[in-house]
Amino acid sequence: MMKTLCVAAVVLSLSSVCQPAPLACEKLLQPVDKAPDLSGRWYAIAISSSCLLQLVAKVILPSFQVEITPKEAPNVYEYILKMKMYGHCVNETERFFHDNNKIFDVDSENASYGVPDVLLQTGCPDCIVTKGADVLNLLTLLSRRKNITAAELKEFETQADCLGWAKPQVLDSDHDLTNCLTEEEEDGENDNRLLSSGLRTHGPVFGE
């Protein structure tokens, strides 16, 4: 009995020590072989970019979550992007075209167009990493969980580093959308001035 327990303890402690080895650059910059089902809710954990966008994220630190639902047309999905910032909540609905490791914009005929975002490899089991190919080069780590482990975050930092991009900015993890401030509550708040000046300066970044 003692021996069995002992073996079990050793196996358990070994399995907690044996974290999956972090993937190396070569691997981290490859698209995924097979993308997971994107349907459902994802929480944005951190972003990195090749430009100053991150600085903006740091200044107005928002939280993001997306809810993805498949539409009737093949490969077409709708997503609701929900953002919370200084207690205020905003949402936006868009559609995209998903083809395994590529995410395209979709036109009114449900056809894909443009240069796709690419889903990159990640060692995190319930995460996706998207790499934008737009004017705004944006690397985003999303997870089914609101919080990920330090090792998972570290891998994302390595991934950004592999691209030569800035150290990722971890986003706000307050995804509680049940306590959003209303318009009335906004009035007369000091925060509000900061928020609107932030938006005025950085507005286009979070626009289309």
Ligand X SMILES: *[C@@H]1O[C@H](CO)[C@@H](O)[C@H](O)[C@H]1NC(C)=O
Kindly list the residues in this chain that would bind ligand X in the complex (CB under 6 A): 71-73, 76, 80, 82, 91, 109-110, 146-147, 173
Contact 38, 77 (CB under 8 A): yes
CB of 29 to ligand X, least distance (A): 28
If the CB atoms of residues 4 and 178 are measured against ligand X, the closer one turns out to be 178
CB of 206 to ligand X, least distance (A): 15
CB of 94 to ligand X, least distance (A): 13
If the CB atoms of residues 134 and 167 are measured against ligand X, the closer one turns out to be 167
CB of 8 to ligand X, least distance (A): 28
CB of 89 to ligand X, least distance (A): 7
If the CB atoms of residues 2 and 150 are measured against ligand X, the closer one turns out to be 150
If the CB atoms of residues 172 and 189 are measured against ligand X, the closer one turns out to be 172
If the CB atoms of residues 82 and 98 are measured against ligand X, the closer one turns out to be 82
- Burial of 80 (C-beta count, 10 Å sphere; 0-12/13-18/19+): middle
- Residue carrying structure tokens 């985003």: 140
Name the nearest CA neighbour of 57 among 42, 72, 66, 46: 46
CB of 125 to ligand X, least distance (A): 17
If the CB atoms of residues 77 and 165 are measured against ligand X, the closer one turns out to be 77
